[in-house]
Amino acid sequence: MNKLPLLENINKNILNKIAKSYGEKKTIYEHTKEVLEVYDNFFKEYPNSFNKEEKELIYLACLYHDLGKANILFQNKVANNKNDAIDESEIHHGFLSPLFLPEKEIENNYSLEVLKILSTSIFYHHTREYTKKDIEYVNYAKEYIGKPFSITSSFFPRDGLLLKYPGTNKYISDNIYGLYFKIKGMLNKFDYTASSGYLISELKNKNIEITNKIKNKFQESKLTDMQKYALNNSNKNLILIGSTGSGKTESSLLWLNKDKGFYTLPLKVASNAIYKRIKESYASPEKDSIALLHSDSFEVLKDNDIKYEEYKQMKLLNSPLTICTVDQIFKFPFKALGQEIYAATLSYSKVIIDEIQMYSPLILACILTGLKIIVNNGGKFLITTATFPKFLENKLAEVIGEENYEIKSFIKEDEIKRHWIKIINNDFDYEKIVSSSKDKKILVICNIVSKSVEVYRKLKELKAEKVHLLHARFIKKDREELEKNIKSFAESNEVGIWITTQLVEASLDIDFDELHTEIAPADSLIQRFGRCYRKREYKKEEPNIFIYHNNSKNFIYDEKLLELTLEKLQKYDNKLLTEMEKIKYLNSVYDEEVLKKRTVKYIELLEEKLANFKDIIPFSYDNKEIQDLFRDINTINVIPDSIYAENEEEISNLIDKIVDKKISAKDRYEARRTLLKFTVPVYKINDNENEIKAKGEKIGIFKVPGNYSKETGFERTKEDEDRFI
């Protein structure tokens, strides 16, 4: 626009109305002024994050977003010190605010389509369903707004919106949706920030200090080739392939350089480890220089002196560097209402994807689609991985366009030799494991929890000393302790045995002397190899990796993929497997044509999910549906009977707090976090009769029968097994 309207130009009678009565009373003028101050502060820090038109439209959204609060019904409510609860007779203020837009001026300066985008951004700036009929809306506007104020807009929901929720059945182009999510996402970011009592939506970026510390630590001349390449090409989208232990973390941080960034990992425990490592070794000493986000991150942050209010700000993505799991920021490709803030923030940020091949077809399709959206809207990405199958390279080129990134491998023929493999067509060689454990650190990896427990018991029967068990079915407080123990064991001079499951593939930075593993898909196997002789050279001419094909029950991997993995591995049996040979082996398994001929479902599922994302209709998913889909494993949190009985008083008190609206949101949140320490994730049960309730309200946690011990974790009773999927 030639001249943007100012806050002072708005009707004073509107601006002097109350915006909220709870907490500190504020007028619409005062709140809007704060939102616009957040807007100004953001563009001082990130002046080139959006183009001129986008900046103007975000400004207009901020200026007009709360004017709907001037309606009589809302004002009567806040005059009586009631909060923003909506009764059946009231229409939410967000749905009314677009009525105040200078419609003709916006249409003349931009376009009718832009007016619809701006109207939609304001209309849905609170994530709510709109279910009123048009005539109800018209009558409400005349009754409660039209009388005290002059409204010239002809805007009504069914005519003036780009998208409708619920009920949208309209596909819109990527460009149009991109403009929409930038306006709404940044309006949400600025509005949430001001409503939380802050005027800064992006903390001062100190990421250049991380770059400088890495340079000083390694001396710039002694950086690895991968690290130098990442630093020198930090303005590009990159895929960097390097063997386990080759310095991928430092490469990622050097690529990030001075820019705002998100570092994503497959698992929470991996995120915790990277957060701790970066915070202790490289990050600025101020506690707000690096954030951690996943479903349990507040527990970790509390140990680092982060207060609940600071954690809430981290959730608004205000940190210069955020370490997170992908579910925290990558649900936006579903185009659900409420996800716009993530897409908007990533459009001026850099995102690092660590070990992308670890994800299921659905999540991988979501990530690839998300990267395309990020690239098309100004953001950048880096993928770092030890294994990058050819089919994945092909899919990335297909979705994003190979002209939009560079791919480079830093794996060389002359890299140190680390792994001599041996295939055994039988169950684990328990005698060998016990014998080796007398002078070595032995890692045993099973595909499922029940097998790991079985192996643990057999080794105990053989009088093996120092045998430990770690899997996903320990209650959270016990599992956290076990994870600390396995890391300290790996770093010590102790010898003994740790039995675990696939959760160690990309989650724990551990180094053992000998690995015994069940057969798994090729990429998983190579990840498992990386937990043995992680950075050391192996000089003996005998196996240190034992791969067992024991025909045990498999519930998690495609059988045909396992057959192909084993078949292609035979040529390397009883040989030293170099880093280059690992890549050749991986590509021989994940050859797209071979996979299709063998009817391996992974490629088929990935293509199906990518096609679904390509044609997705905005607002066709809600956030709960996405959460269920994105986890891609239908698990629930359960409290075993025995744990409940042992801790009944504490658990009961926590349950009561979770639903107690008289205490603060912070205290309710902390009660839930504490309660989760008594839970175990399991596959969903077939009925809901055991879901815990408090004051008639379900809390999403189940109490179930089964045996639990600190030694072996949670085991379902045989008679109860048919209740679990």
State the CB neighbour count (10 A cutoff) for residue 123. 29
Determine the 3-state secondary structure of 441 from DSSP. strand
Whose CA is closest to 18, among 60, 76, 59? 76
Structure-model confidence comparison of residues 201 and 2, the more confident one: 201
Nearest-angstrom CA–CA distance, 177 and 340: 10
pLDDT at 21: 66
Instruction: Give me 19's structure tokens.
Output: 């915006």
DSSP-derived letter for residue 142 is I
According to the model, what pLDDT value does residue 568 have?
Answer: 94
Model confidence at 84: pLDDT above 60: no
Higher pLDDT, 638 or 298: 638
**Distance between CA atoms of 95 and 137, rounded to whole angstroms?**
9
Return the pLDDT at 632.
45
DSSP secondary structure letter of residue 64: H
pLDDT at 476: 85
Comparing 200-214, 600-614, 660-674, 677-691, which segment has the lowest mean pLDDT?
677-691
Rounded percentage of the chain residues whose pLDDT exceeds 70? 91
In whole angstroms, what is the distance from residue 399 CA to residue 420 CA? 37
* Res 440 pLDDT > 90: yes
- Give the model's pLDDT for residue 11: 87
Give pLDDT, residue 147: 61
pLDDT band for 151, please (50, 70, 90 cuts).
low
Task: Return the ∠ at Cα 102 (arms to 97 and 104), rounded to 5°.
Answer: 130
Task: Say if residue 456's pLDDT is above 50.
Answer: yes
Asked if the model's pLDDT at residue 32 lies above 90, the reply is yes
- Specify the higher pLDDT residue, 371 or 247: 371
Please determine, for residue 687, whether its predicted confidence score (pLDDT) is greater than 80.
Answer: no
Alpha-carbon Rg for the chain, nearest whole angstrom, is 28
- Evaluated on CA atoms 162, 167, 170, 171, the torsion sign reads positive
Instruction: Calculate mean pLDDT across residues 585-610.
Output: 87
Q: Which residue has the higher pLDDT, 587 or 698?
A: 587
Q: Which of 53, 339, 374, 1 is nearest to 181 (CA)?
A: 339
Residue 280: which residues within 8 A CB-CB, separation 6 or more?
Answer: none
| Residue 724 confidence class, pLDDT cut points 50, 70, 90 | very low
Least confident of 79-88, 375-384, 409-418: 79-88
Cβ 642 vs Cβ 680: under 8 Å: no
pTM to 2 decimals? 0.88
Rounded to whole angstroms, the Cα distance separating 95 from 97 reads 6
pLDDT band (50, 70, 90) for residue 664: confident
Q: What percent of the chain clears pLDDT 90, i.e. is strictly above it?
A: 48
Assigned token pair, 547: 């791969």
Residue 529 is predicted with a pLDDT of 93
Beta bridge partners of 443: 498, 515
686 pLDDT higher than 60: no
In terms of DSSP bridges, do strands 261-265 and 575-577 run parallel, antiparallel, or are they unpaired? unpaired
Could you say which DSSP state residue 161 is in?
-
Q: Is the pLDDT of residue 653 over 60?
A: yes
How high is the pLDDT of residue 157?
Answer: 59
Identify the band that residue 470 occupies on the pLDDT scale cut at 50, 70 and 90.
very high
pLDDT band at 87 (very low <50, low <70, confident <90, very high): low
User: What number is the average pLDDT over the span 101-107?
Assistant: 90
CA dist., res. 166 & res. 370, Å (int) = 24
Separation of alpha carbons 447 and 555, rounded Å: 9
Per the CB < 8 A criterion, the answer to whether 542 and 522 are in contact is: no
pLDDT higher than threshold 80 for residue 275: yes
Examine the pLDDT at 441 and tell me if it is beyond 70.
yes
Res. 723: pLDDT tops 70:
no
- According to DSSP, residue 543 is labeled -
Question: For residue 66, what is the DSSP state?
Answer: T
Question: Please, which pLDDT band fits residue 51 given cuts at 50, 70 and 90?
Answer: very high
φ, ψ at 322 (rounded to 5°): -120, 125
Is the CA virtual torsion 34, 35, 40, 45 positive or negative? positive
If pLDDT is split at 50, 70 and 90, which confidence band does 625 have?
confident
> Residue 710: pLDDT above 50?
yes
With cut-offs at 50, 70 and 90, classify the pLDDT of residue 374: very high
Position with higher pLDDT, 303 vs 452: 452
Answer whether 454's CB lies under 8 Å from 425's CB: no
Evaluate whether 601 touches 390 at the Cβ level (below 8 Å): no
Q: What is the rounded average pLDDT of the residues 445-471?
A: 93
The CA-atom distances, in angstroms, between 66 and each of 33, 122, 239, 342 are: 11, 8, 44, 22
Instruction: Give helix 52-64 / helix 112-123 axis angle, nearest 10°.
Output: 50
pLDDT at 718 over 70: no
Of 97-101, 160-164, 302-306, which gets the smallest average pLDDT?
302-306
3-class DSSP assignment, residue 509: coil
DSSP state of 685: B
Specify the higher pLDDT residue, 169 or 418.
418
Nearest C-alpha neighbor of 385 from the set 479, 268, 246: 246
Confidence of residue 660 (pLDDT cuts 50, 70, 90): confident
Which CA distances in Å does 110 have to 57, 59, 555?
A: 10, 14, 56
Partners of 321 in the beta sheet?
261
Give the CA angle between residues 590, 267, 226 to the nearest 5°: 65
